[in-house]
Amino acid sequence: MSKSRGRPFVPGNHLGHGRPRGSRNKTTLALQKILGAHGEALVYKCVVSALHGDKSSMRICMERILPPLKYSPVQFPLLPIESVVGVGKTMERLIQSMAQGEIPPEDAEMIADVLKKRASLLEAENVEKQMGKINLLL
């Protein structure tokens, strides 16, 4: 192993730094051009195949019409939270809702993370107020 690994270009390379970031490969560009010219016919053929019972074509068509749902919103009413105690009460309601099956555990975890952040902000505000009071006394 006489060659050491390092930079992709040897010193003195004046031809540039390679292909610009985000530029497309020539093969990809050619394929996009061909598909662009025949895209409408391909989509039509796919739909016809789906209507004749081809399951793969059906899946492709349905994924385009109605993409898979990645996230479904959850209804969890939040009251205004003015103190850390309010965060605690809201967390209790959240745990009860999850235990009763009203909210999936993954969504309850996301809401709990937001509540934890709210609690830490409220604690920081409380510390800042206390420091202001101490500064007034000094």
pLDDT digit string, tens, across residues 37-91: 888 888 899 899 999 999 998 888 888 888 777 777 788 888 788 888 899 999 9
Residue 70 has what pLDDT? 72
Calculate the dihedral angle through the C-alpha atoms of 58, 62, 67, 71, rounding to the nearest 10 degrees: -90
* 72-83 residues labelled b (16+ CB within 10 A) or e (exposed): eeeeeeeeebee
Residue 115 has what pLDDT? 93
Look up tokens 């989509």; give the residue. 43
Strand, helix or coil for residue 47: helix
pTM above 0.75, yes or no: no
Single-letter amino acid code for the residue at 97: S
Report whether 35 contacts 43 (CB < 8 A): no
